[in-house]
Amino acid sequence: MDIICHVAIADDWEAGARFGEYEVATRGVAWEPGDYIRATDPEHVARVVADVYGDVRLPLLRIDCSVTGLTAYGVEVARVDGTPRIFGAIPMVPEVVTAVVPIPRDQ
pTM of the model: 0.89
Interatomic CA distance for residues 9 and 69, integer angstroms: 22
pLDDT in tens, 30-75: 666 667 899 999 999 999 999 988 888 899 999 999 999 999 999 9
The pLDDT, as a whole number, for residue 35 is 78
Domain formed by 3-103, architecture: Alpha-Beta Barrel (3.20)
What are the boundaries of each domain within the chain?
A: 3-103
The pLDDT, as a whole number, for residue 101 is 96
The pLDDT, as a whole number, for residue 107 is 41
Bridge partners for 53 per DSSP: none
Does residue 26 or residue 54 have the better pLDDT? Answer: 54
The pLDDT, as a whole number, for residue 30 is 62
CB-count burial class (<10 Å; 0-12, 13-18, 19+) for 70: buried
The beta strands (E) that lie in the chain are given as 3-9, 21-22, 24-26, 29-30, 37-38, 60-66, 76-80, 83-87, 90-91, 97-103
Query: Amino acid letter at 16?
Result: G
pLDDT in tens, 3-25: 999 999 999 999 988 999 998 87
> Rg (Cα) of the chain, in Å, rounded?
13
- pLDDT band, residue 83 (cuts 50/70/90): very high
The pLDDT, as a whole number, for residue 1 is 59
CB-count burial class (<10 Å; 0-12, 13-18, 19+) for 12: middle
